[in-house]
Amino acid sequence: MATAFSRLPLLQPRSLDEALRLLRDEGPLVPLAGCTDLYVDFHFGTVGGRRFLDLQGLGTLRGIRRRGNTLVIGALATYAELIASPLVRRRLPILAEASRWVGSPQIQNRGTLGGNVANASPAGDTLPVLAVAEATVVLRRVDGERRVPFGSFYTGYRRTVMRPDELIVSIEVPPVEGRQWFRKVGTRAAQAISKVVMAAVRAPHPRIALGSVAPTVVRVPRTEAVLAGGGSLAEAQAVLVDEIQPIDDLRSTAAYRRRVSANLLAQFWSETGRKR
C-alpha cells in the first residue's frame, strides 16, 4: 500500500500564488501539510484524490502572531507550536490545551491547525475551541480571499464551504472574554479519538461547543440561552441532551455520549463558577 502511494505525484509549489494557480489549473489536487491523516486515509482507501499539493514550502502559511486585537494563526501552525506559543497560552489557553490532547508528541510535531479544520472530522479536538472562540477561517483562491465565520464553515459530515480551488491560509481569533474551559473524553489520554470533546467559556452569555456528538462540531445555543437566562444546571442539562445528535459508532454509544455531555456541562459550570 505504502509503496503504491509513494509513486503518486506530489506538486511542490514555492509560493502561495503558485499553489493557488496549481489548484485552479491542475486540479483536482489534495493539499497536504502534516500528513498525519493522509497516510492513514490511504490505508483505509479514503484519500480524496490521486494527486497531491505540498503546502510545506509556503512560508506565508506559517507563524502565530497578533494583528491589533486579533490572534492570527497560520494554517501550518503545528500543535507543538500552539502548545509552545506564549501568545496562544495567554489569549486562548484552551487551544494550547486541546493541542496537548491530540495524538502524541510525535503527532503534535507534525499535525497542523489548518489540517484539523480542513479535515472536517466531527471529532477534531481543536474545533470546539475555535467554535467557542468564534474564530474566522481565512480562505484564499487565485482571484480573492474570503473570511468565513467558524460557525458557518461546516455544512455536514466532513463537508465544508471550501471550494476545490481554495486553501485555508489562517485562522483568526478575536479576544475571548470570560473563563475558558476544555475537556476531552476518550478511551485513554493519548492516541484516542474523542468520544466527547467540549470547550466552553463562562461569561454573561456562556458559549458551549461539543465535538463527536453530531455530524459536525456544534455550538449549543439553546443550552447557552438557558444558562444565560439564569436557568438551573439541571434545566440546561435537559436541553443539552436533546440539542445534540450523537450516534452509536465504534468508539461509543449515543446514550453514553449524552450522559457524558451532561456531566461535562456540570463540570464546566461548577469549575468555572468557583471564586478565583
Partner 1 sequence: MRFVLNGKRADVDAAPLKRLLDVLREDCGLAGTKEGCGEGECGACTVLVDGAPVNSCLVPFAHVRGRKVTTIEGLRSRLPEALVREGGTQCGICTPGIVMAAAALGPRPSAACVREALAGNLCRCTGYAGIVRALAGRRAAPHPRVRAARGPRPVAPGRPKRTRRS
> Residue 266 corresponds to which cell in the numbers above?
456540570
Burial (CB count within 10 angstroms: exposed 0-12, middle 13-18, buried 19+), residue 170: buried
Task: State the Cα angle at 124 between 118 and 128, rounded to 5°.
Answer: 105
- Under the binding rule (CB under 8 A), the answer on residue 188 touching partner 1 is yes
Among residues 29, 31, 36, 257, which is the contact residue for partner 1, using CB under 8 A?
Answer: 36
- Binding residue for partner 1 (CB under 8 A) from 140, 183, 257, 258? 183
Tell which residue, 194, 181, 178, has the closest CA to residue 116. Answer: 194
Cα–chain-centroid distance for residue 13? 26
Tell me, residue by residue from 83 to 122, as one string, x for binding to partner 1 by CB under 8 A and - for no binding. ----------xx--x--xx-xxxxx-xx------------
> Given candidates 19, 20, 23, 32, which one binds partner 1 under the rule CB under 8 A?
32
Query: Alpha-carbon distance 72 to 172, whole Å?
Result: 5
Contact between residue 141 and residue 24 where contact means Cβ atoms under 8 Å apart: yes
Site for partner 1 in 158-177 (CB under 8 A): 176-177
Instruction: Please state, in angstroms and rounded to a whole number, the distance separating the CA atoms of residues 174 and 194.
Output: 26
Say how many residues touch partner 1, by CB under 8 A. 48
Stretch that binds partner 1, among 8-16, 61-69, 149-157, 209-217 (CB under 8 A): 8-16
Q: Please report, as ranges, the residues that interact with partner 1 according to CB under 8 A.
A: 2-3, 5-8, 10, 12, 32, 34-36, 38-40, 43, 52, 54, 56, 80, 93-94, 97, 100-101, 103-107, 109-110, 176-183, 188-191, 201, 271-272, 276
